[in-house]
Amino acid sequence: MGTTYDLLVAGGTLIDPATGKNGAFDVAVKDGKVAAVAPNIDKSLAANVHDATGHYVTPGLVDLHTHVYWGATYWGIEPDPVAARSGVTTWLDVGTAGGYSWAGFREFIIEKSRSRIFALLNLSSIGLIAPSWELANPDYWDVDLAEMIINDNRDLIVGVKARIDQNTTRGVGIAPLVKARELADRVGQPLMVHIGGGPPSLDEILEYVRPGDILTHCFTGNPNKIVDDNGEINANIQRLHDQGLILDIGHGTGSFSFETAEATLAKGFLPDVISTDIHQMAIQGPMFDMPTTLSKFLLLGMSLEQVIEAASIKAAKAVNLEGLGTLEVGAHGDIATWTIDEGEFTFSDVHMNIRKGNQLLVNQATFIGGELLPHAPERPLHKFAEIPAHQRDKVIPVRQVNG
């Protein structure tokens, strides 16, 4: 007698914000897609049973801000080994590739990875080959090239990326953002804008974002932060968010401040998406990975359901990724299982401000299309991958258990 399902994740506590299911549900996968979600599914119907007793079961996470173009760029990590230990099954690489470097990214990274990778194309034709400066030279603002690349790769490219800060633009002001806006409008896709230190100022930047666009590094503590020194939300941010602007964390090495987060959350103003901005530096800490980043928001008072929602279905919807970030029947069979360790844990923001927490989210298993993603060694970091000077010798492991 044949089996009905290829995989059954049984005995766990399901948290699927997209469907509202929260409780004792098993998840069955057939031919890479979710086939059934119900209590106590008959184990004899499955070829492979994964015992999730005592674990939380969630959709595979969708990390909306990542850099996974390994080997050809300053920033990129190798995605699969990190996915296997972090519950991230879908990466959105945001602007690591530009028009000239896209083909290599597609052939040698995206198509050879088991984890799912989508991308935002950088307005700059050279992408993030170097640490910064990609928009400082107007010769790289090739809108026609970028439009052609996007139109030829709409199966994988789902938007446009532009870093708009004092380092990236180097004196050309708001002009590259004007070009990025033009590109996004031409291709009918969302624009993700990176903020940090000006010029340009935050209000100058906000003139060029639209409902459905994404403002990343939304909890930065740098001069273009979204709250003033009294903790009041920028009026243009409030207005645009009410109209549909998506606020994304993008933790990274330089873009997450506990003070900004606490001030913003105190206003009841939650981030739409929690993402890592994972790259060669951020993976060394204090960001580390998605579970650590989500644990910081548990510390800040968000519920487990809220942080999972912000790193699954809300991230998928931000760039219209169908069948991801949910475990509804018919969706991709991407699943993560988790425990929450209790103890004393030390969390740092990018300024090395410390907060103590008592919960750490820990990934136990990661499945993509119903198949377990095995743990594998991670490549050594590039020799040039040094974290900022103020973080060196101050990054400490999160786990600090009393005694």
């890592």: which residue's tokens?
276
Residue-range definition of the domain harbouring residue 139: 60-318
And the tokens for 118? 């989508």
In a domain, 86, yes or no: yes
In a domain, 348, yes or no: no
The Cα 324–Cα 263 span in angstroms is 32
In a domain, 304, yes or no: yes
Report how many domains make up the chain. 1
In a domain, 15, yes or no: no
In a domain, 242, yes or no: yes
In a domain, 135, yes or no: yes
Query: Does the predicted TM-score (pTM) go above 0.95?
Result: yes
Report pLDDT for 403: 26
In a domain, 252, yes or no: yes
Q: What are 78-104's pLDDT values in tens digits? A: 999 999 999 999 999 999 999 999 999
Report pLDDT for 400: 45
Q: In one letter, which amino acid is 206? A: L
The Cα 130–Cα 136 span in angstroms is 12
The per-residue pLDDT of the chain, averaged, comes to 96
Element (H, E) at 90: strand 88-94
Report pLDDT for 402: 29
Does position 388 have pLDDT exceeding 50, yes or no?
Answer: yes
Q: What are 19-62's pLDDT values in tens digits? A: 999 999 999 999 999 999 999 999 999 999 999 999 999 999 99
Report pLDDT for 397: 84
Does position 401 have pLDDT exceeding 50, yes or no?
Answer: no
Give the CATH number, domain containing residue 194: 3.20.20.140
Could you give the residue ranges of the DSSP H alpha helices within 141-216? 143-152, 166-169, 175-187, 202-206
Kindly indicate the confidence band of residue 276, based on its pLDDT and cuts at 50, 70 and 90: very high
The Cα 175–Cα 81 span in angstroms is 39
In a domain, 261, yes or no: yes
